[in-house]
Chain A
């Protein structure tokens, strides 16, 4: 049982800890798992989260930064005052838990639909778009000299990567072709400044409490690039969960997002943000196609994966709303 290994591990690096209780798997694919547990401590229990690749699953997918980089970035963010869980321990071979890290559990909600509908968050919701602007500004300002090694991606490189991904699906979609043309025609070129980009900053990857954003999660797609990419991605309609008139994660307006970003001392380029929103919409559509492909070729022959393939059409209507809007 994982509790035995966790108990041994915490006693090594957490002074006073005597063991763990209540270990439960929160999510997990074949290569990466998230567990919650409580560290037993004389001063009271400490909530912990384990993120790991189990033994034998060391290799990260090509786009992922890797768990070591993720831990490093979360710790940097925490130290810089960007809402983030505190990393307590990076796994070593002696832990016998695979590779990954243990962080302090932050209480709050990550399920987007609850955040958008439950009364508990009603007071926080109107402030979230602006607050997120400030959080992103802090994230983009993390000191570059301290960052782990990360892949670097310009807009031009991203377009050709998505073009390749899309063609490999052999899934002719006129709307995706139109989006690819639009992206090539509107490629803004290299950004004036290259910063850390979170890469998956959206409603669903944020822990929200009654007081607002408590932590930014899922740093696995972090890379170096155009900071406007993160502002565009959080506006992708797929992350509005039905609140389509509130572009920023279903919370609020672009104006609020931009105001929060600029109040924190950074500049917004709205045309670039729009470019990355189109790119992000296509990105999720192609990912839906990838899910369909994996469903067909196995090993994950699940119904859920099959149905995600059928969500590509959601991104097609959203791309048309962006590129060929009807009426007015």
Chain B
């Protein structure tokens, strides 16, 4: 077991430093790059916070859908293959719900401000 602070706390501290202390000092193209850098750290922080829980639920859904076991990567590969072969489609019970839940979890990490995501978040599934 590693010591603390946790990676989440560390990346958040760096992001806050860049955002609050460095941003006011920089302009032009470098300011744009700095904003991208801060966005990356924020994304990493969100992923570190959420990934464990969302992956566990994704694996649970995939096991039920595919009737097999494996890592989240292996199960995604298997689902992709079955859809490609036409063995699984939107008429398959649970597929649409699974893809929606998985995609919503990805957007929550990648782009929580994306307009389509915000719209779907306000909808009762």
Mark A residues whose CB is within 8 Å of B. 172-178, 180-181, 237, 240, 242-244, 303-304, 306-307, 310-311, 313-314, 316-318, 320-321, 323-324, 326-327
Contacts of B110 in A (CB 8 A): 310-311, 313-314
Among B33, B90, B125, contact of A326 (Cβ-Cβ < 8 Å): B125
Contacts of A306 in B (CB 8 A): 40
Interface residues of B toward A: which range?
A: 35 or more
B-side interface mostly: helix
From known contacts A177-B84, A326-B125, A327-B123, infer whether A320 and B99 are also in contact, taking CB-CB under 8 Å.
yes
Closest chain B residue to A303, Cβ basis = B36
Among A173, A178, A310, A321, contact of B116 (Cβ-Cβ < 8 Å): A321
B68 at the interface (CB under 8 A from A): no
From known contacts A177-B84, A180-B84, infer whether A317 and B107 are also in contact, taking CB-CB under 8 Å.
yes
The smallest C-beta distance from A307 to any residue of chain B, in angstroms, reads 6
Q: Which of B2-10, B12-20, B49-57, B72-80 contacts A (4 or more CB under 8 A)?
A: B72-80
Contacts of A175 in B (CB 8 A): 99, 103
What is the count of residue pairs linking A and B with beta-carbon distances less than 8 angstroms? 91
Contacts of A181 in B (CB 8 A): 83-84, 86, 89
From known contacts A178-B99, A304-B36, A324-B100, infer whether A314 and B111 are also in contact, taking CB-CB under 8 Å.
yes
B39 at the interface (CB under 8 A from A): yes
Give 7 pairs: A residue, B residue, CB < 8 Å, sorted on A: A174-B102, A175-B103, A303-B37, A307-B43, A310-B110, A314-B107, A316-B103
Assembled-state Cα–Cα distance A50/B6 (Å): 51
Report whether A324 and B90 are in contact in the complex, using a CB–CB cutoff of 8 Å: yes
Closest chain A residue to B111, Cβ basis = A314
List residues of B (84-123) whose CB comes within 8 Å of A's CBs.
84, 86, 89-90, 96, 99-100, 102-104, 106-107, 110-111, 114-117, 119-120, 123
Report whether A172 and B77 are in contact in the complex, using a CB–CB cutoff of 8 Å: yes
Report whether B114 and A320 are in contact in the complex, using a CB–CB cutoff of 8 Å: no
A172-B77, A242-B115, A314-B107 provided; 8 other pairs, C-beta below 8 A? Answer: A172-B76, A173-B80, A174-B102, A244-B115, A310-B111, A314-B116, A317-B107, A326-B125
The smallest C-beta distance from B66 to any residue of chain A, in angstroms, reads 11
Which 10 interchain pairs have the tightest Cβ spacing?
A172-B80, A177-B83, A313-B106, A172-B77, A242-B115, A324-B96, A313-B110, A244-B115, A310-B110, A174-B79
The smallest C-beta distance from B32 to any residue of chain A, in angstroms, reads 9
Assembled-state Cα–Cα distance A324/B86 (Å): 16
Contacts of B80 in A (CB 8 A): 172-174, 176-177
Closest chain A residue to B65, Cβ basis = A174
Assembled-state Cα–Cα distance A244/B120 (Å): 12
Assembled-state Cα–Cα distance A176/B73 (Å): 15
Among A240, A307, A318, contact of B40 (Cβ-Cβ < 8 Å): A307
The smallest C-beta distance from A208 to any residue of chain B, in angstroms, reads 21
Report whether A324 and B99 are in contact in the complex, using a CB–CB cutoff of 8 Å: yes
Report whether B99 and A237 are in contact in the complex, using a CB–CB cutoff of 8 Å: no
Report whether A313 and B107 are in contact in the complex, using a CB–CB cutoff of 8 Å: yes
Assembled-state Cα–Cα distance A178/B101 (Å): 15
Among A177, A243, A307, A321, contact of B36 (Cβ-Cβ < 8 Å): A307
B30 at the interface (CB under 8 A from A): no
| Residue with the highest number of chain B CB atoms closer than 10 Å, among A174, A180, A242, A318 | A174
Report whether B39 and A318 are in contact in the complex, using a CB–CB cutoff of 8 Å: no
From known contacts A181-B84, A310-B111, A316-B106, infer whether A326 and B100 are also in contact, taking CB-CB under 8 Å.
yes
Assembled-state Cα–Cα distance A176/B116 (Å): 17
Contacts of A244 in B (CB 8 A): 115-116, 119
Contacts of B33 in A (CB 8 A): 303-304
Report whether A317 and B103 are in contact in the complex, using a CB–CB cutoff of 8 Å: yes
Contacts of A174 in B (CB 8 A): 76, 79-80, 83, 99, 102
B124 at the interface (CB under 8 A from A): yes
